[in-house]
Structure 1
Amino acid sequence: MLFALSFTVFINTLSYSQDIPQKGKSIGATVKDSTVVNLNKPAEPETLNAEKAADTTVTDSVKPKELLEHIVKYSATDYTKFNNKKQQLYLYNNAKIDYGDMNITAGSITIDYGTNTVYARGITDTIEGYTQKPVFTQGSNVVEPDSIVFNTKSQKALIYNSVTEQGEGNVIARVTKKENDSVYFIKNAKYTTAENLEDPDYYIRLLKAKIVPGKKIVTGPAGIYIYDVPTPVWLPFSFFPQSEKHTSGIIIPTFGEQNDRGYFLQNGGYYFAISDYMDLAVLGDYYTNGSFGLRLENTYAKRYRFRGNLAFRYENLITSERGFPDYARNTIYNLRWSHSQDSKANPSSRFSASVNLGSSTYYRNSINQINAGSNYLTNTLSSSVSYSKTFEGEPQVNYSLTATHSQNTNTQTINMTLPTFQGSVGRMYPFASKSGSKKGIIQNINLQYNVRGENRIATVDSLFFKKEMFDDARAGFQHTIPISTNFKVFKHFSVSAGANYNEVWTFKTIDKRFNTVLGEEEVETINGFDAYRTYNFSTSIGTTVYGMFNFEKEGKDTKLKAIRHVMRPSISYNINPAFDKYYNTYEEEVITADGLTTRDVEFSRFEDAIFGAPNKNFSSSMGISLANNFEAKVKDRDSTATEPKKIKLLNSLNFSSAYNFAADSLQWSPVRVSGSTQLFQNQMSINFGATLDPYALDNNNTRINTFNIDNGGSLFRLTSANLTASWSLSNKNKGKDKSNNVASDNPEDFLPKNMDFSNEQINEYQNNKDSKKGNKDDNEEPSKFFNHKIPWNVRLAYAVNYANSRRQNEISSHSLMFSGDIELTSKWSIGASSGYDIKNQGFTYTQFRFQRDLESWNMNFSWIPFSDRTSWNFFIGIKSSILKDLKYEKRRQPDQQL
């Protein structure tokens, strides 16, 4: 009995139930359980509380301390197994756990509750290899390693062979130590912005680095590798900003050499992230001969309200050296402002701006690289700033304020309106019925009120923004009240009639007299309010005539079915009274063969008014116009089409002229002919025009009151003509279905409609079709090394103008412009733009472009082979904006101009 009792105590003390401990075996970073439990369906997600780790067979009066701070939610496809003795939980195949803000998915996960450690790794498959690699997510940080060891208590982790996205780039590290939620330490890592992370085309090797996600990466020695080949470019330390918000910082300049200004630094400065709605970049240029430039660039936006940008550029350019005879100093500037208002901000009012003003020679003289290229050809600067307001109601009232600017950079003349005021009261029908549609001449009578006020300034570039530019400013108001009505006669003719009342206010008038002492005319400007009033009457009648020419013949399927001709003739009549009461005369002394005599000179005090002087001569004229349109119906090449295809032969062919009943001679106006059409499936647009004069010329090439046909000539004399054509060619859409219809897989859509087919025949057709499709897929796989389709596009523009108003019989201008691009491969393209002046026999501004997409890099070369802007520029650099300063640039500046 004593022996049995001793044996029982020994067994109960030292034995283990259902568990055999393995001595000397520890759990590493990756755990592979030899026991596999196959389940018919994936285990449902479970929750494991910290109290579950306690043995339910043990009763203790002291409450055990919780091992984990949060509830663990876990799931796995094959099995979930908990080892009560080792306090370990095993998850296998598509394993997933959630612990607080931490989430881990992997092939195999082991949770050790004794050491508060989580082990995650992938699983090895004999076919697919190492799969289901862990994905570690904590907050907004995502890490994809080969395996991971994570401590739930200290929040530290060891991550092996991880790929982490940081801003625009990715960090590939062999070993990463996670210190806390905001700090990572890595060793022997790669930083790259390449898309192919398995074999990046370039990377920056980081021997040691510290990562603060969303803020920065600070490294020790770092060097650039291109396709795993080291370059001699190494830095003792580096800094990569990773802020997810706008951050102020230094903008690194570019450097180079300019022919007559020495070495330079361009486009360097500082970026100010003022707020989420506004920023500012201050950039500068410096040249060793003393020249400098300054640029301020501001962008602002407010969602659902407005957005815009403002830029000011100033350059102080010095040529040669002080003391040399060719020394010169020139200051140029340019101001650009763009503002747009969201349509949802205020439906009844709108403010917009588009400003581009500055020195006329800015784009020609600027030596900053951002102004090179097409800006050199800019010959017009224009601006407009406007505000408009609408008051809804009956009638509707609108007003607007606009400031405009137009500048010719060739002549350096500037025309401005500061400002223009426009107001209007909507159309009113005083005699219309309150219900039903408006019918008849009386009910259709309507009137409006419009007012326009302007302050015009005409100046030159040298006086811009100076006091002198306002001396000759002209201001005034124009009020108009148009009254009109319309009705039909004989069912097919539309008649419109109207009268217009016009009143002009001005604040400056003139008075002319002859100075007998100086023997010349004197003009005196009179400041003060003055006005004149005019009126006129007009009417017109028009109709539309349709003509159809059928070419179909019974029993024949002709290609041309019909031609439709649409004519819109109209006749108008205008009468303008003479307002000679606003004209005065003065006596002018002239010397003739009979001696000194006098003559009366007529003038109007409103000649220099902003809206001109009133009409002096009585006018009664009739206008005649005829608009034509030609379309054709042709047989469609698509055999399934049920209707003929419509094509346009001539979009428009217009004729217009006028006859002045009140004129004593030259009563007929020249006939104006204009038209347009499109050819080659609307790829080519042609516009043409001509002026035909019915009157002849005398020996001094002056028009006389004799018809040209009565003077021994033709019915009309061609005085001018013009032709413009533009053609866009491309092979991108060649061979494709022009109707953009997707091919149907339904055999009934392809079989003839007028025959009945059995189900067996339809199935046989579908099987044959699938078989052919499968053979084509298997045997006609496109080559990866040969691109048999090379995309290209060419844009051509042709223009010719003919002048013969005074028997000069010459081509006034004749030119051909062309540009195009060719994609030799999906990564390589070349392009060119140029033109040829056929009249002067010379090429216009010409530029060649070469561009190569090097995955993460861009390489381009531009060349201007001739002209005074002869130059070339080579550039290669990283696409990513964060590493855009990693580049190489070489250029040849234009030759020095003496």
Structure 2
Amino acid sequence: MAFQKSSHTFTKIHLKALRTNQFKILFALSFTVFINTFSFAQDIPKKGEPIEPKPEKTLDTVTKSLDSLVKIVIPETPKDTTVVDSITPKKKEFLENIVIYKATDYTSLNQRKQKLYLFNEAEITYGDLNIKAGDITIDYQKNEVYARGIVDSTGAYTQSPVFDQGGNVVKPDSILFNTKTQKALIYNSITEQGEGTVIAKITKKENDSVYFIKDSKYTTAENLDDPEYYILLKKAKIVPKKKIVTGAAQMYIYDVPTPIWMPFSFFPQRPANTSASGVLIPTFGQQNERGYFLQNGGYYFAISPHIDLALMGDYYTNGSYGIRGESTYALKYKFRGNFGFRYENLITSERGFPDYSKTTVYNIRWSHSQDAKASPNSRFSASVNLGSSTFYRASLNQATTGAFLNNTLASSVSYSKTFQGEPQVDFSLTATHSQNTQTQQINMTLPTFQGNMGRVFPFAPKTGTKKGLIQNISFQYNVRGENRIQTTDSLFFKKEMFDDAKSGFQHTIPLSTNFKLFKHFSVSASSNFNEVWTFDTVEKRYDFETQETITDTIKGFDSFRTYNFSTSIGTTIYGMFNFEKKGENKKIKAIRHVMRPAISYNINPAFDRYYDSYETEVVTADGITIDDIEYTRFEQSLFGSPNKTFSSSMGISLSNNFEAKVRDKDSTKTDPKKVMLLNNLNLSTAYNFAGDSLQWSPVRLNGGTQLFDRKLSVNFSATLDPYALDNNNRRINTFNINNGGSLFRLTSANMNMSYTLSNEGSNKKDGQRDASTEENIRNGGRADDLFGRSEDFTSKRFDPDAEKDNEDENKDFYNFKLPWSLRLAYAVNYSNQRRNSEISSHSLMFSGDIELSPKWSVGGSSGYDFKNNAFTFTQLRFERDLLSWRMNFSWVPFSSRSSWNFFIGIKSNLLKDLKYEQRRQPDQTL
């Protein structure tokens, strides 16, 4: 690139080739260039005095030529209409782009030295090249630009150059750049390369895409004046936005050399918010039972901006191994999800020893959610967590405490669609899975079909609102079909799991209406028609030789139909108890009581036509007699069997709500403040008119409330039985009060409370979930840390959003107010079914965190079992944010899961393999 001469600042001459002698054209051009180069203004300088440039107006722009390597679109110059000689080559223009420059103090042009001086907040822009500095000098003859900072009145070096070419920004102390060769010498530069920063004393810029540096520092620290760590690069080659290739490199921590030394290294660079494929470096260590190991090694595939895949594996010297894959996918405004698969082959001890064992465990997790705007009339979702029942207890490479303490694995995959219209029709297909990790029992539905038609009001008026008994009559249609499988862990994913599968359909047509009675009572009535289809029925007979009842399964379609009727009447009663009198300002002004009593009646006919009988022998004191035993062939139906006996019952219920109006603590507010005393207090019972004994059902009571600004949640329930027990602790048709007891006999009760405390300095928002909590939920655990936090050793990536912005540097060392949070959960259960009055369970759980500083927090989770006088699962932890590093430690001091884990590593994903980790794994419980 060459800069335009001073005489061209005002006038630019374009010569076009004509059909003339080429020699004369070249001679004329050479003569013109020669004159313009060595000619000056007509004023004659005095002898012995330097020639001063003629004062001219400062121009904002200067045009100059650009090297042909820079491809800039130039406005098209109007062409001469004269025919151009096709043999004569087109002459290259002197100017290919526009240069814009400015300075605050002055802009000086020295025509003799062919230099342009810019001082104070100087800036020059030419194509994709931009230089900002305190002092910039442009040498036209050498095609060089020299930029440096300036020294202010206090002696500080300010306005250091900022060199930007094609988005690659360099911040040196000074720079010398050749505009023609595109080469540069950069002194004391700071360059951002991907997630890190390169600090170099001397950098040689070879071209737009290659830099050579020597004795430079590479770090991801934010404090570049005093980085807490860096990697010293003896020699390195930088290809911006692509890679850094180095020779010998050594890590320094606060300028102290460490034994971490590499003969060569490669740092891939990539733009922000992008990902790249690469090798995942394994972690090495030792485990007592399985020897030395390599864990979490593998490869990461950045398949596309919408999906990735990480394949990892573990290997132990005793032969154990594990493989797993993790994938995350997302399509904006469409869907997002993640998929994970884990398989481990575990060997304990050595072959030939009595404690030798070999087992395999696996786990599959899939989560998929659809954006609500993607398809308003259809939706697909998935939440899958299935695998070996012993996986969370036996897995070697993770400590998922939330899932370990949970006894159930559950999955659901569903698709639903709505057909708009009148009436509206909906249908859904769902596959479910429920697995008990203690009994290893698995229940699945593959699939469940459910369809329903919206309510139809046949007698509703075409205009206006529906009122009255007849106009409110409505009916709808529902159908449900299931294919239910019940199996065990050992038969899962084998053909035997389908041997006892059951299928069936259920059709229901509810007919209902509602109306007002005497303006204050709401009356509803409904009748339900039910039809069940089944593909398997049973037939029973008695074998007199073997004296056994034989049950045969009959394959084939069969069905039964039932119906019932119910009605209810209810109302709402409001009561207000005022405590405030005229002229008084009491703290409690009033209590509001809302009651909702209701009475219902249900009738279920007997469908004994679906019942058969078979003869059997019954041994009595008088000898052997023949008796008939009734049964229904639909007793193994998925949706129950028809009623054998007639039922006519009345239900009674009462719900209560209590609120108080109290004086607000804020004296500026005149309106009283509402305080919830009881969210609900419900009582219910029933009376069976068709029963011959024990006609009253137990009274069930439940309630709940939230106190102290909804921080304390209290829920309770109890069951009260009006009947007494005989000497064998069986219910008898005698009221307890008539048997010398109280009106009701308390058979069961429970209460649980949860309380969350935190001070004003706590940074955790209500409802905020961290990565550990989300991992707990995906594994089937609790949505809190009362049972500890999950730790997955397969990944140590840290969420950048969790980092705190601390403007006050002093807060790095202490807090004036220590932010803390405390969560308490109390539960007690009482049982007295057969005069066994006892507390079946009684425990208190708690978890909390204290933030000693914005970068140091400690916490723990534990509890106490008052019945067994022992501590529940306990986990202690602390975490330290070391700027570019993070350190954490977790410890389970006792129980069968006794273990600890220590980790320290760099936060940056690029250097996350620079870490140190030690842990003691829990004993394996298979």
Q: Shorter-chain TM-score: what band? A: 0.7 to 0.9
Distance, in Å, in 1 between the alignment partners of 2:384 and 2:923 is 32
- Partner residue of 1:447? 475
How far the C-alpha of 1:120 sits from its partner, in A, is 1.5
1:12-161 alignment, distance < 5 Å: 17=45, 45-49=60-64, 69-127=96-154, 129-161=156-188
The residue that corresponds to 1:348 in the other structure is 377
Q: 8 Å contact 1:68–1:113 — kept in the other structure?
A: no
786-795 or 680-689, larger mean C-alpha shift: 786-795
- 2:338 is aligned with 1:298: no
Letter in 1 for 2:391: Y
2 CA distance for matches of 1:519 and 1:735? 73
- Cα shift at 1:303: 2.6
Q: Provide the C-alpha distance between the structure 1 equivalents of 2:595 and 2:118, rounded to a whole number of angstroms.
A: 83
Q: Distance in 2 between matches of 1:314 and 1:896?
A: 16
- 1:585 is aligned to 613
Query: How many Å separate the matches in 2 of 1:790 and 1:248?
Result: 42
Which residue does 1:831 correspond to in 2?
A: 859
Which SS does the other structure have where 2:470 is aligned? helix
Residue 328 (structure 1) aligned to one of 327, 337, 357: 357
Distance 1:320 1:21 in 2: 98
The percentage of aligned residue pairs carrying the same residue is 70
Q: Offset of 1:48 from its aligned partner?
A: 3.2
2:569 equivalent in structure 1? 541
Where 1:374 maps in the other structure, the secondary structure is helix
Paired with 1:109 and 1:84, the residues of 2 have a C-alpha distance of: 16
- In structure 2, the partner of 1:673 is 701
Distance 1:508 1:882 in 2: 61
5 Å matches for 1:334-733? Answer: 334-368=363-397, 370-732=398-760
Contact map agreement 1:67 1:114 (CA 8 A) in 2: no
Kept after mapping to 2: 8 A contact 1:67/1:116: no
Q: CA deviation at 1:302?
A: 2.4
Go from structure 1 to structure 2 and tell me whether the alpha carbon gap of 1:129 and 1:574 turns closer, same or farther (over 3 Å shift): same
**Residue 71 and residue 20 in structure 1: after superposition, are their counterparts in 2 closer, same or farther (change >3 A)?**
farther
What's the CA shift string for 1:6-53, capped at 9, x where partnerless? xxxxxx999964898989xxxxxxxxxx99x999xxx774343459xx
Contact 1:260 1:896 in 2 (8 A): no
Give the AA of the match of 1:283: M
Cα–Cα, structure 1 residues 783 and 827, in superposed 2: closer, same or farther, change >3 Å? closer
TM-superposed CA distance for 1:148, in Å, is 1.4
CA contact (8 A) 2:121 2:159 kept: yes
Among 303, 308, 312, the residue aligned to 2:341: 312
Describe the SS at the equivalent of 1:199. Answer: coil
Distance in 2 of aligned mates of 1:283 and 1:296: 6
Report the counterpart of residue 873 of structure 1 in structure 2: 901
RCO higher in structure (CA 8 A, sep ≥6): 2
CA contact (8 A) 1:692 1:716 kept: yes
CA shift digits 1:792-836 (9 cap, x unpaired): 111111111100111100111111111111111111111111122
Q: Does residue 920 of structure 2 align to residue 892 of structure 1?
A: yes
The aligned amino acid for 1:120 is A
Correspondences of 1:832-847 after superposition (within 5 Å) = 832-847=860-875
Aligned residue for 1:243?
270
**What's the CA shift string for 1:632-652, capped at 9, x where partnerless?**
111111111121111111111
1:28 maps to none
Higher mean C-alpha displacement, 158-167 vs 82-91: 82-91
| Secondary structure of the corresponding residue to residue 468 of structure 1 | helix
Matching residue within 214, 227, 237 for 1:200: 227
Which stretch shows the higher mean deviation, 230-239 or 708-717?
230-239
Task: Look up the match of 1:217.
Answer: 244
CA distance in 1, matches of 2:331, 2:406: 32
Distance in structure 2 (CA, Å) of the matches to 1:355 and 1:415:
14
The 8 Å contact of residues 363 and 378 in structure 1, kept in 2 or not, is answered as no
The residue aligned with 1:812 is: 840
RMSD value over aligned CA atoms?
A: 2.7
Question: 1:555/1:19 Cα in 2 relative to 1: closer, same or farther (>3 Å)?
Answer: farther
* Aligned partners of 2:811 and 2:854 also within 8 Å: no
Partner residue, 2:290: 261
Give 1:176's aligned amino acid: T
- Corresponding residue for residue 860 of structure 1: 888
Aligned-partner Cα distance in 1 for 2:195–2:528: 65
Distance 2:251 2:816 in 1: 36
> 1:890 & 1:490 partners in 2: Cα distance?
76
Q: Is the CA contact (8 Å cut-off) linking 1:254 and 1:268 kept in structure 2?
A: yes
Q: In 2 relative to 1, CA 68–112 (structure 1 residues): closer, same or farther, beyond 3 Å?
A: farther
Question: What is the DSSP-based 3-state SS (H/G/I as helix, E as strand, rest coil) of the residue aligned with 2:733?
Answer: strand
Aligned partners of 2:130, 2:906: CA distance in 1, in Å? Answer: 34
Whether the 8 Å CA contact 1:183–1:213 is kept in 2: the answer is: yes
Whether the aligned pair in 2 keeps the contact of 1:38 and 1:79 (CA below 8 Å) is: no
Q: Distance in 2 between matches of 1:735 and 1:472?
A: 54
8 Å contact 2:396–2:921 — kept in the other structure? no
Change (3 A) 1:188 1:68: farther
Runs of at least 5 residues in structure 1 that lack an aligned partner in the other structure: 1-11, 24-33, 52-62, 739-779
Contact kept in structure 2, 1:259 and 1:893, CA below 8 Å: no
Superposed displacement of residue 875, structure 1: 1.0
Sort the Cα spacing of 1:593 and 1:271 in 2 relative to 1 into closer, same or farther, 3 A: same
The separation in 2 between residues aligned to 1:478 and 1:793, in whole angstroms, is 50
Displacement, 1:296?
1.7
Q: Pick the aligned partner of 1:185 from 205, 212, 218.
A: 212
Residue 896 of structure 1: CA displacement? 7.1
The question of whether the paired residues in 2 share the 8 Å contact of 1:67 and 1:113 is answered with no
**Structure 1 residue 68, shift from structure 2 partner:** 5.6
How far apart, in 2, do the equivalents of 1:811 and 1:577 lie?
A: 41
Letter in 2 for 1:294: I
Q: Decide which of 300, 306, 309 is 1:280's aligned counterpart.
A: 309
1:788 alignment partner, one of 816, 821, 838 = 816
Conserved in 1, the CA contact under 8 Å of 2:61 and 2:98? no
1:469 aligned counterpart, secondary structure: helix
1:372 shift after superposition? 4.4
* CA distance in structure 2 between the aligned counterparts of 1:19 and 1:512, rounded to whole angstroms: 135
Q: CA deviation at 1:873?
A: 1.3
When structure 1 is superposed on structure 2, of 245-254 and 515-524 the one drifting more is 245-254
1:798 maps to 2:818:
no
Q: Is contact 2:812–2:855 with CA below 8 Å preserved after alignment?
A: no
Q: Residues of 2 paired with 1:547 and 1:492: CA distance?
A: 15
Which digits, 9 at most, give the CA deviation of each residue in 1:196-253, with x for residues without a partner?
1111111111111111111111111111111111112211111111133432221111
Decide whether aligned partners of structure 1 residues 126 and 216 sit closer, same or farther in structure 2, where only a CA change above 3 A counts: same
User: What is the CA distance between 1:495 and its match in structure 2?
Assistant: 1.0
Aligned length, in residue pairs: 820
Which secondary structure does the structure 2 equivalent of 1:273 belong to?
A: strand
Contact 2:537 2:554 in 1 (8 A): yes
